[in-house]
Structure 1
Amino acid sequence: MSTDLSRKIEKQPILQATHPIKLYLICFISMWERYAFYTLRAILVLYMTKKFLFTDTQAYSAFAMFSAIVYLTPLIGGYLADKILGMKRSIMIGGSILIFGYVLLATQNTAFFYLGLSTICIGGGLFIPNIASMVGQLYQENDMLRESGFSIFYTSTNIGAFIPPLVTAFIVFRFGWNAAFIMAAISMLFSVIICGLTIQNDSKIKGKSNVRLFILFWLSLLSIICFSSKLIQHTHYANIVLFCIGILFFIFIIQKSFFLEKEPRNKLIACLILITLSIVFSLLYEQSAMSLMLFTEFNTHRQLGNWTIPTITFQSLNPLYIIIMGPLLAKLWIYLSKQQLNPSVTLKFGLGTCFMGLGFVLLPLAILLFANQGMISLWWVVASYFLQTLGEMFVSPIGLSMVSSLSPAKMLGVMMGVWYFATAVANALSGFAANLTTISSHSNLPVLTSATYEHAFALMGALTLFVGICIIALSPLLSKMIGKKSFST
């Protein structure tokens, strides 16, 4: 009886007086890393096509695979943090490697280009999952501030993502490509310095001073960097490797689940189901730097008065919306929790996926009903970004919170890596999805391309809406596996 009572007490929601100060330090560290990454993301395709004269197909393939590997390497980074390095040490090492990667890109040397991209992939693999895991460690599983804390974290990272599309074009035009990459390296240096001065070492994992282990660690990293460089160059082989790695990790996690008790095993399985379904969501999200960017360039009236808005500027809409909506949603989740009306993680996943689908369905409707010579108003694109971002705010920060709360403590780093691996798969598939918008005539005339975009966006949006509806339908079952109601605290 006393055991049952203690379990009920443990499941009661906890509300701290306020968020820990450490949350805001972590947010500041992550913000500078995001500035560096989104500087690269904003100009990478243009850099490849203008500086190295890549074809569009080559640029999109390299971009998709680079983005995939960026989110694949957290599988390794999470494991190393769990078993060997600890979170702070992983972040410090990863941040230092990222600095070196951006410096390599600043050389504007073809020989160093792929090496720089792969170095950034490895550095990000050590940095990204562990900065998110640090947020999860600040709260108990049933703390009512947990989801609010992740929303604040997600909002802060998008402050770093908001600035690059606005300023990078000017930096490149005024000072050259290398200046943009140097700025990215400097922002990473700020991130590493702040982490080193403010974040304490992990209490449970002490760094090992074994010289052989140290040498083996760095040799392994160098080998992975060289291997990743080849994968970015040869994407057809990379897709096979990506598929094999996914199967191996899936088998590994399922095998581990057999040694868990029923409740944590059900939570882990539900977590894996939602992570798998999130691939469709992430696939559409990545179109903002691919097909949606070209659609904005060639099929959207971008005039606002006498000013023609640069295409790259539209990529600031997503982080701008997040900055605005993030604090509002954080307060909303707390209010709904107090009223015992907070939608479950699964229901939020479903709703967010539906919003993303609607964001893409809106565009073919605009083309069909309001296009003039294949061109639509910029406000349709603005509205599409709003719906996409609203969906993202339901899925991404809640997803990070879900992984940290549903994963067994000893598998937290690996499961956080699996969350990013799903994004890696989506990035790899996003290149294939973007190819739906290509036309054989190689013409960018709006009257010729609008029908192609209409068909592609309708297909992407409808598929995502279908997945979202399926998640909502499965919400009661998944919520039961997690141990929560569809509307709960």
Structure 2
Amino acid sequence: MASTLTSAPTKDAPEHGTGKTFFGHPRGLATLFMTEMWERFSFYGMRALLVLYLTAAASQGGMGMAAATAVALYSVYNATVYLMSMPGGWLGDRVWGPRRTVAISASVIMVGHLLLATGVSALFFAGLVLIGVGSGLLKANISTMVGHLYDGPDDPRRDGGFTVFYMGINIGGFAAPLLIGWAGQQISWHLGFGLAALGMALGLLQFLIGTRHLAPRSGVVPNPLTRAERARALRVSLGGAAVLGVFYAAVVLADAFTIDWVLWPVSVAGLVLPTYYFARMRRDKDVTPEEKRKLGGFIWFFVAAAIFFMIFDQAGSTLNLFAEKSTSTDLLGTTFPTSWFQSVNPLWVMLLAPVLATLWVALGRRGRNPSTTTKFSMGLIGVGVSFGVMALALVAASGGDRVSPLWLIVIYLIQTLAELCLSPVGLSVTTKLAPAKYASQLMGVWFLAVTAGDCVFALLQLAIGDAASGTAGFALQGGAAVLAGLVFLGARRRVNALLGAVR
């Protein structure tokens, strides 16, 4: 069981106010900031190319996949990345501890990107699997280690620390399409994937060098498995792998295998698993009644985040294809790669995150800082409005002419403001509401909100095809998000009552 950090100095407490700091925060934040920056560099660089590579004709070095299938595959792949954060959190809590889990996962991600760079189709999909597994293992644990740097949930620097950490994500996300996207589209798809592997290698090296600055708690297994539990986990894992192996072997031998045999099961699993984990935690006798009440409040945030990410994560799929097919890429007489549009959102984040972080602090000093529920409502309404603008952009492009890049720039501006109201705040509130026994695992559940949102859109894409990303599809999704935001805002007092002192 993990010990609780307090403001009193102990041998297990992280650095606070002594020695070097990182923008006024514990020095260990620099290690986690840089590690996440390089991991996101590799991930977002690959993501900027993925749908474009899948839909590019074979004569252009691509895979020639239909757009609807490529978008569904992208959504399911992205969902899988976050789906794997749940077992990643479990490994951090029960087997390796957060610090070792991050080191192992970074190595797996690096190998996955190397497989993408080979240019062999079978190895390409194997690489996607490894990146999905590795990213899931890393995400829940590195965010948990950020929380370990602070003196409990009431440390006034905590939200600011997560905002700084979020900046690392977006620095990597900004640079990746510019370098990896350019190399992939202008020189070779597989050179781009190779640069992603190099980025992850740098992130792993930096993490190994900087681990001494992390909180000692990050190297501890909070709730280690007993010998009997370890044996049972091994039997279940091997048994599940064997069943899946036999099932898919039978499908292949029957000459019935298509990509749908992967897309549909993963999409359904992305909706079922969060329900299972919430039920399991609420039934656990080691979870106190107070912690269970807070979990009830967390479910509201989870559903709101799922709706948000259903829309937000289409930046790399439907919006990327709109940029490729219907948006001008001429700037001052120079043509730039379509993938560069993927740098617009991170650029907006870097420009606006300090502004919003300063605003929250200033409002807090006056006792007027919006509650977490209000910020989430603002995020939902904002992302819904962005898809209303996207529907208008499709109308403007309906004549076959390429529209101004300002359409996408404005859409990403609105989405960024919405993201900054919801995503870093969601990371912070998750660490505040997590039961002691499930510190890393609840962070994994938070990332399952991304899985759920992506899976909903994948199912829509599989069921109705291109209509899901047409003018009416964008308008309906945007309207649903705005309505959900208004409902969440109306229920904020009820939700706040479940959170106790957490705001």
TM-score, length basis structure 2: 0.83
What do the CA deviations read for 1:332-372 (whole angstroms, capped 9, x no partner)? 22222222211111111111111111111123345668987
Q: Once structures 1 and 2 are overlaid, which stretch shifts more, 102-111 or 151-160?
A: 102-111
Residue 418 (structure 1) aligned to one of 422, 439, 445:
445
Provide the residue aligned with 1:110 in structure 2: 121
Contact 2:180 2:195 in 1 (8 A): no
Provide the residue aligned with 1:253 in structure 2: 281
Would you say 1:455 and 2:472 are equivalent positions?
yes
Would you say 1:478 and 2:495 are equivalent positions?
yes
Q: Distance in 2 between matches of 1:84 and 1:274?
A: 28
Matches within 5 A, 1:271-286: 271-286=298-313
Q: Once structures 1 and 2 are overlaid, which stretch shifts more, 75-84 or 160-169?
A: 160-169
Other structure's SS at 1:47 match? helix
Matches within 5 A, 1:365-404: 365=392, 376-404=403-431
Other structure's SS at 1:85 match? coil
Contact 1:45 1:59 in 2 (8 A): yes
Query: Do the aligned partners of residues 127 and 227 (structure 1) sit closer, same or farther apart at CA in structure 2, a change above 3 Å counting?
Result: farther
Q: Once structures 1 and 2 are overlaid, which stretch shifts more, 93-102 or 426-435?
A: 426-435
Contact 2:114 2:194 in 1 (8 A): yes
Contact 1:437 1:453 in 2 (8 A): no
Would you say 1:182 and 2:197 are equivalent positions?
no
Query: Do the aligned partners of residues 426 and 271 (structure 1) sit closer, same or farther apart at CA in structure 2, a change above 3 Å counting?
Result: same
Deviation at 1:49, TM superposition (A): 2.9
Q: Distance in 2 between matches of 1:178 and 1:250?
A: 40
Q: Distance in 1 between matches of 2:396 and 2:220?
A: 60
Other structure's SS at 2:491 match? helix
Q: Distance in 2 between matches of 1:97 and 1:219?
A: 22
Query: Do the aligned partners of residues 382 and 413 (structure 1) sit closer, same or farther apart at CA in structure 2, a change above 3 Å counting?
Result: same
Deviation at 1:108, TM superposition (A): 1.2
Query: Do the aligned partners of residues 45 and 247 (structure 1) sit closer, same or farther apart at CA in structure 2, a change above 3 Å counting?
Result: same
Q: Distance in 2 between matches of 1:377 and 1:174?
A: 22
Contact 1:147 1:333 in 2 (8 A): no
Q: Once structures 1 and 2 are overlaid, which stretch shifts more, 228-237 or 174-183?
A: 228-237
Is there any run of 5+ residues in structure 2 with no aligned partner, and where?
1-6, 9-15, 18-23, 57-61, 249-258
Q: Look up the equivalent residue of 2:442 and give its one-letter code.
A: M
Provide the residue aligned with 2:36 in structure 1: 30
Contact 2:42 2:197 in 1 (8 A): yes
Would you say 1:65 and 2:70 are equivalent positions?
no
Query: Do the aligned partners of residues 227 and 61 (structure 1) sit closer, same or farther apart at CA in structure 2, a change above 3 Å counting?
Result: farther
Matches within 5 A, 1:87-236: 87-139=98-150, 140-173=152-185, 175-200=187-212, 202-205=218-221, 234-236=262-264
Q: Look up the equivalent residue of 1:242 and give its one-letter code.
A: G
Other structure's SS at 2:429 match? helix
Matches within 5 A, 1:325-336: 325-336=352-363
Deviation at 1:173, TM superposition (A): 4.7
Q: Distance in 1 between matches of 2:271 and 2:370?
A: 33
Q: Once structures 1 and 2 are overlaid, which stretch shifts more, 31-40 or 335-344?
A: 335-344
Provide the residue aligned with 2:4 in structure 1: none
Other structure's SS at 2:414 match? helix
Deviation at 1:43, TM superposition (A): 0.8
Matches within 5 A, 1:274-313: 274-313=301-340
Would you say 1:242 and 2:270 are equivalent positions?
yes
Other structure's SS at 1:377 match? coil
Deviation at 1:409, TM superposition (A): 2.0
Q: Once structures 1 and 2 are overlaid, which stretch shifts more, 75-84 or 361-370?
A: 361-370
Deviation at 1:470, TM superposition (A): 0.9
Q: Look up the equivalent residue of 2:341 and give its one-letter code.
A: F
Contact 2:264 2:459 in 1 (8 A): no
Q: Once structures 1 and 2 are overlaid, which stretch shifts more, 325-334 or 364-373?
A: 364-373
Deviation at 1:218, TM superposition (A): 13
Contact 2:43 2:196 in 1 (8 A): yes
Deviation at 1:220, TM superposition (A): 5.2
Deviation at 1:330, TM superposition (A): 1.9
Query: Do the aligned partners of residues 296 and 430 (structure 1) sit closer, same or farther apart at CA in structure 2, a change above 3 Å counting?
Result: same
Deviation at 1:61, TM superposition (A): 2.5
What do the CA deviations read for 1:248-301 (whole angstroms, capped 9, x no partner)? 223212213x65444322211111221122111000011111222222333334
Contact 2:282 2:295 in 1 (8 A): no
What do the CA deviations read for 1:444-477 (whole angstroms, capped 9, x no partner)? xxxxx9xx73322211111100011111111121
Contact 1:271 1:406 in 2 (8 A): yes
Q: Distance in 2 between matches of 1:232 and 1:90?
A: 32
Deviation at 1:245, TM superposition (A): 2.6
Contact 1:367 1:375 in 2 (8 A): no
Q: Give the aligned length.
A: 461
Q: Distance in 2 between matches of 1:72 and 1:406?
A: 20
Contact 1:344 1:484 in 2 (8 A): no
Residue 319 (structure 1) aligned to one of 346, 359, 362:
346
Residue 365 (structure 2) aligned to one of 329, 333, 338:
338
Q: CA RMSD in A?
A: 3.4
Provide the residue aligned with 1:20 in structure 2: 26
Contact 1:92 1:195 in 2 (8 A): yes
Deviation at 1:91, TM superposition (A): 0.3
Provide the residue aligned with 2:252 in structure 1: none
Contact 1:279 1:426 in 2 (8 A): yes
Contact 1:99 1:185 in 2 (8 A): yes
Deviation at 1:71, TM superposition (A): 0.4
Query: Do the aligned partners of residues 481 and 101 (structure 1) sit closer, same or farther apart at CA in structure 2, a change above 3 Å counting?
Result: same
What do the CA deviations read for 1:128-171 (whole angstroms, capped 9, x no partner)? 11111111111221112111111111111110011122122331
Q: Distance in 1 between matches of 2:103 and 2:241?
A: 18
Would you say 1:427 and 2:460 are equivalent positions?
no
Is there any run of 5+ residues in structure 1 with no aligned partner, and where?
1-8, 11-15, 441-448
Provide the residue aligned with 2:67 in structure 1: 56
Q: Look up the equivalent residue of 1:279 and give its one-letter code.
A: A
> Percent same amino acid at aligned positions?
29
Matches within 5 A, 1:4-19: 18-19=24-25
Provide the residue aligned with 1:79 in structure 2: 90
Other structure's SS at 2:95 match? helix
Q: Distance in 1 between matches of 2:339 and 2:448?
A: 27
What do the CA deviations read for 1:157-203 (whole angstroms, capped 9, x no partner)? 11001112212233125542222222111211111111112114635
Query: Do the aligned partners of residues 227 and 87 (structure 1) sit closer, same or farther apart at CA in structure 2, a change above 3 Å counting?
Result: farther
